[in-house]
Every structure is written in structure tokens, then in C-alpha cells.
Amino acid sequence: MKLVVVGHTYITAISQSKYVAMKRVRPDLQLRLVVPHEVNHVFMRYRPEIHPGLEPQDVVVLPAVVNNSQMTRIMHPTRLAALLRTFGPDHIHIEEDPHSLTGVETVFLARQVCPRPRISFFIWDNLARVPRFPLSTLKAALTRYSLARCDLVVCGNTEGQRLLGEFKGYAGPSVVLPQVGLEPEDYAVPLPSELAKELGKTDGTPLIGFIGRLVPEKGILLLLEALSRLQALRWGLVIIGNGPMREVICTRWQGVLGERLRVLAPIPHTEVARYLRCLDIFVLPSYGIPTWKEQFGLTLAQAMMAGIACIGSSSGAIPEVMGGSGLIFPENDVGGLTSTLEMMIQSETERTELGKKARAFALRRYTNNVVAGAYLRGFEELAGACRNDSEYTPRG
């Protein structure tokens, strides 16, 4: 199989691990990962990397003509067209939104220069948002254009899969899979004692952690308020990330919680596992707002892989990601979070059992080999359906 993947996520080597695993599963796979020359994120600016498990030709860096955001980014059209024409992919997998300019551009060019490639999209969207006119009309038109010309949609959550048909009008094949996988060995490293000491971990004092964007909807204030009610208990809290709430956390809440609270700058993806291994409890307390609700929560899956006892809200895909291997409290309910934290802080036995349960679930669901194999099955089943249907023609 010749596979082209277009997606800014794969600018980092750690994200490329999914496709390294895919090549392990299918040694005859010929791969081209198409990424922009840079990606700006709230945490940092990313430059292209190549995973040691890939060949230099497997990662194709194209300059972005427009690079304001992932929705408005346009890859160099003539170079993208040349790649598609000369490589001749059997399958093109687009990990950008169907209404993104990169997604529309890739579909258009593929249908112009490639001999009948199968096309699939990966989407996160789990909210039936309707932007104001005229953006709503433009978004709907671009989405219809892309989905009418693709053969498979991979959804990051079940709500997104449901909305595909009910809200976006897509009637083709779809499947629910994580976007990326994890390497189990990375999350089974021994406790980094020096780092743990820096984070304030001491014997008998549970260390609680959050890693992510510091925005209101991630529920940071709920977590801080809940812990402020539990100051009679022994615990420490580490918050890692960046965003508009950082200042209020470092001023008001540092004053309330004192040395119990440590707020750290964003860390590289490659360091996340080490920091998680220092924790006793991981919390993802997100709540939905009109324009967003939790679509997956990668740090939650990472904490589970690290064998950390996890607490999550009922927001969006969080219960789905946890799969019954952690504790759920009602979103935006500080009382529910407080009582859940109190139980976890006081019971080392409960934390240990939940950590083992989380690790076991993550090994079944979130390893690179599992995720890569599931993607390959989806691509190959689609290819088989196309070969067996003598009347098959790509939509659009």
C-alpha cells in the first residue's frame, strides 16, 4: 500500500510513532507524511522532526503559503500536487478538518492528479456548532465538498461519529479511533526520584497533577477550589501548562495554597511520561462551553498508560476515554470533585488499584501497535470493498 498522510500533528517525532508502528505491522507500506514547515501552538512553536524509525523520504515538509492557523493553512499547492502525482498513493489520509483549507486543497488536488485514490479524514468535532453568517455558509459548503469526495471518516470520539450523519449529512463508512497511540515502555520507567523531589513528592503525601492548556473550560479553577476545601489533608499539586489563567493561578491561588502548589511551564512531549510517573493522582476536570467540549484528552490517556489513578469529569469524551478505569464526577460540580479527591487522597489502596486498572485499559486501547493496526484494518477493509465492487467509483 502507498499511503499519503496530510496533517500538522505529525510535525513532531513522537506523534509519528503511530506510523512507525504501522510500518512494523505492514513492512511493505510505502509512506509519505506531509507536514508544514512550522506549527504555532499555545505551548511552543514546532519545527519538523523525523522519528528514528522512519526514513528521510517518509516525512515531506512543504512550505505553507498561508499559515495563520490550522483552519486557514494552505500547503504549497504545486509541490503538493507534484508529490501526489509522482508518488501515486493508493490511499490519502487527511488529518485536518474537512472544512479546513488544507483538507479541501488536498481533496481537490487528489481528484485532479491521482488515479482513483481512496480518501479518508480524521475529525475531532463533537459539537454541533453553527457559526454566524457568512462563516456558517462557507464552513458548511467546504465540509460538504470534502465529505462528498471521501470514502471513510475516522472520528476521535463517538459523539463526533453521531454528528457526522445527523449534523453533517455524511452517509459513508466511519469508525471511532484515537488519533495517536502511545509507546507502553515510555510510561513504565522507574520513578525519577530527583524530579519527584523537585515537584514536592514526599513519602505519604499524594501528588496530584494536571497537564494542559490553562483556560477556564479545562476546569482548573474547579480543581483549585476543591483542593482549597481539603487543606486539612496532606497533598501536593502540580500544574503544567500555559494560557490566560496562568497569572491568576500564580497570584491568587499560590497565596491560598502556598507551597502545596507548583506551577510549571509547558514541557516537551518527550518529557510528559517522566512527569506523570511522579504523580499519584491525575485530574482532568474539563467542562463544556457553547464553542467547545472535551474531544479526547491525550494527557488523560498518557496518565492511564503511566498507571496513575485518574479522575475525570463527565464532559465530552472523558468517560469514553477512561472506559470505566477511573473515577468520574459531574462536570462543573466542585462538590463532586471535592468528595472524589478526598476519597482518593485518603486511600492509597484505591489509588493503587485504579492505577493498575488504568494501565491495563490503556494497554488494550492506546498503544501504537493497537492504534496502527486498527487504522490499517480500516484502510484495508475499504480497499477490499472497493476491489469487490465492480461499480465502485470515488464519490465526487
Angle, helix 77-87 to helix 101-113, in steps of 10 degrees: 40
Mean pLDDT of 316-340: 97
d(CA 13, CA 50): 5
Same fold, 2-181+367-388 and 184-365: yes
Overall residue count recorded for the chain in this entry = 396
Partner residues linked to 3 by β-bridges: 31, 91
Residue 369: which residues within 8 A CB-CB, separation 6 or more? Answer: 21, 24, 25, 181
pLDDT at 252 over 90: yes
> Is the pLDDT reported for residue 394 higher than 50?
no
Does 266 have pLDDT greater than 60?
Answer: yes
pLDDT at 45: 81
Task: Record the cell numbers describing residue 326, joined without a space.
Answer: 477511573
Q: What average pLDDT does this structure show over 350-359? A: 98
pLDDT at position 386 is 63
What are the counts of helices (DSSP H) followed by strands (DSSP E) for the chain?
15, 17
DSSP-assigned beta bridge partners for residue 93: 5, 120
> What are the two backbone dihedrals, phi and then psi, of residue 31, each rounded to the nearest 5 degrees?
-125, 145
- Cis-peptide into 134, omega within 30 deg: yes
The neighbour count for residue 35, using CB atoms within 10 Å, is: 26
Would you place residue 208 in the very low, low, confident or very high pLDDT band (cuts 50, 70, 90)?
A: very high
Residue-level pLDDT at 139: 87
Q: With 90 as the cut, is the pLDDT of residue 292 above it?
A: yes
**Per the confidence metrics, is the pTM higher than 0.85?**
yes
The three grid cell numbers given for residue 269, joined into one nine-digit string: 512531549
Contacts of 177 (CB under 8 A, 6+ apart): 154, 155, 156, 371, 374, 375, 378
pLDDT tens readout for residues 86-139: 999 999 999 999 999 999 999 999 999 988 899 999 999 888 877 777 777 888
**Residue 391, pLDDT above cutoff 50:** no
At residue 363 the predicted structure's pLDDT band, cuts being 50, 70 and 90, is: very high
Give SS3 for 261: strand
Domain spans in the chain, listed from the N-terminal domain onward: 2-181+367-388, 184-365
Q: Mean of the per-residue pLDDT values for the chain?
A: 92
Superfamily of domain 2-181+367-388: Glycogen Phosphorylase B; (3.40.50.2000)
Superfamily of segment(s) 184-365 = Glycogen Phosphorylase B; (3.40.50.2000)
Alpha helices in the chain (DSSP H): 17-25, 77-87, 101-113, 135-148, 158-166, 193-198, 220-228, 246-248, 254-257, 272-276, 298-305, 318-322, 334-346, 348-365, 368-388
How distant, in Å, are the alpha carbons of 63, 79, 143 from that of 67?
Answer: 9, 16, 20
Give CA separation, 323 vs 212, 317, 355, in Å. Answer: 21, 10, 13
Q: What is the pLDDT of residue 189?
A: 86
Contact call for residues 210 and 240 (beta carbons, < 8 A): yes
Whether residue 390 is predicted with pLDDT greater than 90 in this model: the reply is no
